[in-house]
Structure 1
Amino acid sequence: MVSIVILTKNEEKDLPAALTAIAWCNDVHVLDSGSTDATLDIARENNAKISSNAFESFGQQRNYALDHLDIENDWILFLDADEVVTKEFKTAIFEAMETAREEIAGFYCCWKMMLDGKWLKRCDNFPKWQFRLLRKGRARFTDFGHGQKEDKVDGEIEYIREPYLHFGFSKGWTYWIERHNRYSSQEAIARTIAIPPFKNVLSRNTSIRNPALKSWLSKLPGWPFLRFFQAYIVNMGFMEGIPGFIYCANMSYYEFLIQIKIREQKRIPN
């Protein structure tokens, strides 16, 4: 009923858990972008179908999968290697697919951000939504910042409220900081060049509202501190202990990097 596509590059640490959790799926694809570790061996051991494509962006890579992979089923679920499908999430997506009206093109999904075995529900402003489950041929992806969002949707998008697990810190803080330094450059460009109209901040559609919020909040003096204050104090992230503090502090730092890179972008001559 559903095919699953996992994007990989050097994911030997996270991929085993991701694949074990979806052993029930009859059509699992690993789309790799140049792994030099044991990622592909792990994929073969778990009977995943392996393809390769040079990575340009998340949106481009997901569209490559839609265009070039031999996907067997009518529904496609996109996962990252550090994401794990729970039994409850599996049940929820099957119920959603089985009852979906013909006009439904896909579903937004959400995650539980996990750090040191704790769900950072308050610190991570749960739920956050991404377009991950789609009916074949009914939608594509486009880049926004370091990530992607839905594009060219033929129909409506609904929500699956049961989350999957996201282990975004599994490779350690050095890796996370290096990666988010790169991401902050991409976010700075997106928030400088493609600023959505302010009215989008009031949209009910999170895919429209969130990019607008990011762009406009980045203009506020002291926004990195406000980001920390909102998540740690207002949302009571302090109740999530040391992992909550570490997460909020690093997300504040990430927003600081974006702000100073936005300033840098504005100084670059056209």
Structure 2
Amino acid sequence: MVSVIVLTKNEENDLSTCLESLSWCDDIHVLDSGSTDKTLEMAQKYEVKTWHHPFESFGKQRNYALDRLPLRHEWVLFLDADEASTKAFQDAVYGAIQSAKPEMAGFYLCWKMILEGKWLKYCDNFPKWQLRLVRMGKVRYTDFGHGQKEGSVEGKIGYIKEPYLHFSFSKGWSQWIDRHNKYSTLEALSRYRNCPPFKSIFTKNKSLRNLALKSWLSKLHGWPLLRFFYAYFLNLGFLEGTQGYIYCVNMSYHEFLIQIKIREIKKGYKG
């Protein structure tokens, strides 16, 4: 009923959890971009199809997968190696597909951010939406920041409210900080060069509204501190204990990095 695509690079520690959670799928494709660890061995252990394509960006990698992989089903689900399905999520996906009318091009999905076994519902401002379940031939992706968003869409997009799990911290904080230092550079470039118009803050499209909010809020001098105050106090992040505090501090620092990198871009920083 649904084909699954998992993008990987050096994901030997996370991939088994992801693939085990997808035992309900009969067409799983791992698209690797040059792993040097045991990622491909892990994928072969689960007898899923493996492919290779050099990584340029998440948007281009997803488009390549849609264009070039021999997908069995009309509907395609994208999950990352540090993400996992649940039985409730599986049922929600099946239900959405079975009831989807011909004009439906895809569905926005949301996730539960998990840190040390705790769901960061308040700190991570649940739910956040990404277009991860698409109908073949109806959706093209484009890049924004370190990730992607929908580009052209032929049809309507719905919402599946049952979340999947996201273990973003599974490789430890050192890896997370190193990765987000790189992500902050991409975010700074996108927010500065591709800032959505201010009116997009008020759109009903939650995905576009989130991009607009991030771009415009990053223009405020005190935004990193405001981000911490909002997430930890106003959004009740303090209820999530030590994990919530650590997450809010690091996300505030991430926003600070984006701001100073936007400043460098404006000044034409050359080192």
The TM-score, its normalising length taken from structure 2, stands at 0.98
Cα displacement (A) at 1:23: 1.3
The one-character-per-residue Cα deviations of 1:131-163 (angstroms, maximum 9, x if unpaired) are: 000111110100001100111100000000000
Give the corresponding residue for 2:168.
168
Give the corresponding residue for 2:187.
187
What amino acid maps onto 1:254 in structure 2? H
Q: In 1, distance between residues paired with 2:77 and 2:232?
A: 32
SS of residue matched to 1:112: strand
% of aligned pairs identical? 62
Give the corresponding residue for 1:229.
229
Q: In 2, distance between residues paired with 1:74 and 1:196?
A: 32
Cα displacement (A) at 1:206: 1.3
1:265 aligns with 2:260: no
> For 1:1-270, what aligned pairs fall within 5 Å after superposition?
1-268=1-268
Q: In 2, distance between residues paired with 1:110 and 1:172?
A: 23
The one-character-per-residue Cα deviations of 1:103-158 (angstroms, maximum 9, x if unpaired) are: 10000000000001000000000000000001111101000011001111000000
What amino acid maps onto 2:6 in structure 1? I
- What is the CA RMSD across the aligned residues, in angstroms? 1.0
Aligned pair count reads: 270
The one-character-per-residue Cα deviations of 1:12-36 (angstroms, maximum 9, x if unpaired) are: 0000000001012110000000001
The one-character-per-residue Cα deviations of 1:221-266 (angstroms, maximum 9, x if unpaired) are: 1100000000000011000000000000000000000000000000
Q: In 2, distance between residues paired with 1:237 and 1:152?
A: 36
Structure 2: runs of 5 or more not aligned = none
SS of residue matched to 1:152: strand
SS of residue matched to 1:11: coil
SS of residue matched to 1:261: helix
4+ residue segments displaced more than 3 Å = none
What amino acid maps onto 2:84 in structure 1? V
Structure 1: runs of 5 or more not aligned = none
What amino acid maps onto 1:51 in structure 2? W
Q: In 2, distance between residues paired with 1:143 and 1:190?
A: 9
SS of residue matched to 1:13: coil
SS of residue matched to 2:216: helix
Q: In 2, distance between residues paired with 1:80 and 1:99?
A: 26
Q: In 2, distance between residues paired with 1:195 and 1:103?
A: 30
Q: In 1, distance between residues paired with 2:265 and 2:108?
A: 32
Cα displacement (A) at 1:95: 0.1
SS of residue matched to 1:54: coil
SS of residue matched to 1:6: strand
What amino acid maps onto 1:197 in structure 2? P
Q: In 2, distance between residues paired with 1:75 and 1:133?
A: 7
What amino acid maps onto 1:62 in structure 2? R
Q: In 2, distance between residues paired with 1:248 and 1:207?
A: 21
Q: In 1, distance between residues paired with 2:171 and 2:195?
A: 32
Cα displacement (A) at 1:210: 1.2
Q: In 1, distance between residues paired with 2:152 and 2:195?
A: 20
Q: In 2, distance between residues paired with 1:64 and 1:173?
A: 31
